[in-house]
């Protein structure tokens, strides 16, 4: 008769970490956000509103209950201390990988991906990163800082090296980033047209997926700090995700939902469904 509150649809193992294959955790950090902050509220918005969404995907004819998922909640962070915060995220990622879980992190701003990719790279030195985003995130520094949401993939390149980052949907950045990208990463501007071919090329190498939800057009996803018109549709994002099916995905994240900027709740619903389809594809 009594409904224990705030169970999300992404918790299918009755609160047992041990039994889980996929472990979700929140990285509620938005400390380097340059325009409108608020992605710290992303993970809990996803949990909170998820009970309005179905477990079942008619696209994939599969239910969340078919995957063993544990949601370990948000990581507590010492506000204002960027380096210490990133270390905490990395430390938890390391634990998950050591325990042979498939980590799925919910941001937070995009910088949270850096320690996660780094830890994943330490376990899988031939790691490939698949990056969905409106922005290049390839600056060498931003507002005089090396660690920023706008530098995150450039920092990842520091240890991954050339040819290991595949980017899709990119439509914003400064000129130098686009030039730099030409010889260091594989960038698919504006859309995901080359994804199918790239997936074949990647083969069975270990893959980290990072989805910056602002790859979507702001018509359907306005709950983010720097909306960029001209993005892909929700259906295009779903199709891109389904294309990832053959890959050997070892970790993933989904970032940049700032739920308060979309009071209609649509952006949160979009994030929840994207997460559902992602887990049903890679889990």
Does residue 72 touch a second copy according to CB under 8 A? yes
d(CA 114, CA 63): 31
Contact status: 265 vs a second copy (CB under 8 A): yes
Query: Element (H or E) spanning 93, and its range?
Result: helix 82-98
16 binds a second copy (CB under 8 A): no
Compose the 73-92 pattern: x for residues touching a second copy by CB under 8 A, - for all others: xxxxxxxxxx-x---x--xx
Residue 165 lies near a second copy (rule: CB under 8 A): no
CB of 49 to a second copy, least distance (A): 9
Site for a second copy in 168-187 (CB under 8 A): 170-175, 178
Q: Which stretch binds a second copy (CB under 8 A): 28-36, 117-125, 195-203, 245-253?
A: 28-36
Contact flag: residue 107 with a second copy (CB under 8 A): no
Report the candidate in 187, 147, 196 with the shortest Cα–Cα distance to residue 168.
187
> Which residue's CB is nearer to a second copy, number 55 or number 124?
55
What residues between 221 and 250 interact with a second copy by CB under 8 A?
Answer: 222-223, 226-230, 234-235, 238
| Site for a second copy contains 163 (CB under 8 A) | no
Closest CA to 211 of 193, 198, 224, 201: 224
As measured in angstroms, the least distance from the Cβ of 125 to a second copy is 26
- Using only C-alpha atoms, the chain has a radius of gyration, in whole angstroms, of 17
Q: Answer yes or no whether residue 115 interacts with a second copy by CB under 8 A.
A: no
Q: Work out how close the CB of 230 gets to a second copy at its nearest, in angstroms, rounded to a whole number.
A: 5
Q: How far, CA to CA in Å, does 207 sit from each of 15, 128, 192, 193?
A: 27, 5, 17, 19
Contact 249, 282 (CB under 8 A): yes
218 binds a second copy (CB under 8 A): yes
DSSP 8-state class, residue 172: B
Instruction: Indicate left, alpha or beta for 42 from its phi (over 0: left) and psi (-120 to 50: alpha).
Output: alpha
């Amino acid at each position: 008769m009594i409904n224990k509150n705030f169970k999300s649809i992404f918790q299918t193992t009755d609160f047992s970490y041990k039994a889980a294959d996929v472990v979700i955790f929140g990285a509620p950090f938005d400390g380097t956000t340059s325009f409108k902050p608020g992605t710290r509220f992303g993970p809990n918005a996803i949990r909170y509103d998820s009970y309005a969404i179905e477990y079942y995907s008619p696209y994939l004819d599969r239910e969340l209950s078919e995957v063993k998922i544990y949601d370990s909640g948000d990581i507590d962070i010492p506000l204002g201390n960027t380096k210490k915060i990133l270390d905490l995220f990395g430390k938890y990622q390391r634990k998950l990988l050591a325990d042979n879980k498939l980590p799925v992190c919910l941001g937070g701003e995009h910088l949270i991906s850096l320690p996660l990719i780094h830890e994943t790279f330490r376990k899988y030195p031939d790691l490939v990163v698949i990056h969905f985003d409106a922005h290049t995130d390839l600056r060498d520094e931003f507002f005089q800082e090396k660690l920023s949401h706008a530098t995150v993939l450039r920092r990842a390149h520091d240890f991954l090296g050339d040819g290991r980052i595949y980017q899709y949907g990119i439509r914003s950045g400064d000129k130098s980033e686009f030039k730099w990208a030409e010889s260091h990463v594989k960038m698919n501007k504006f859309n995901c047209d080359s994804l199918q071919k790239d997936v074949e090329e990647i083969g069975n190498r270990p893959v980290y997926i990072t989805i910056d939800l602002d790859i979507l057009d702001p018509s359907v996803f306005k709950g983010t700090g720097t909306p960029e018109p001209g993005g892909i549709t929700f259906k295009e994002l779903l199709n891109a995700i389904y294309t990832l099916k053959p890959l050997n995905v070892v970790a993933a994240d989904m970032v940049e939902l700032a739920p308060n900027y979309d009071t209609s709740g649509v952006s949160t619903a979009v994030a929840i469904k994207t997460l559902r389809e992602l887990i049903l594809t890679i889990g």
